[in-house]
Structure 1
Amino acid sequence: MLLTIIMIFLGLVFLGLAIKLAFFALTVIFGLAALGFVVFGVFWLLTRV
């Protein structure tokens, strides 16, 4: 019984870490995409002038 509780607890902890990691990865990807978009926009404006 105790082993089952420990396994469930470990599973929840692992799930929490996985979700945190996924959110972190999404934040990094969206951050890089936004940065690239801004750089592209500035470069485009400079070439238009």
Structure 2
Amino acid sequence: MKQIYSSAKEVYAWLGLDADGSDEVIQAFCQVAECMWDSGLFGKHQATK
């Protein structure tokens, strides 16, 4: 975990309870990240999924 977070430019974390629509937002973030991963937008030095 140290390696993951130490090389991150930004980290966002939600530590609270679920709110109206929060599950949908998290799901959308995951879909965007998957698209970025598949298109190579994470760069040449990407780790494994």
TM-score, scaled to structure 2:
0.43
Q: Which has the larger radius of gyration?
A: 1
Q: More helix by proportion, 1 or 2?
A: 1
TM-score, scaled to structure 1:
0.43
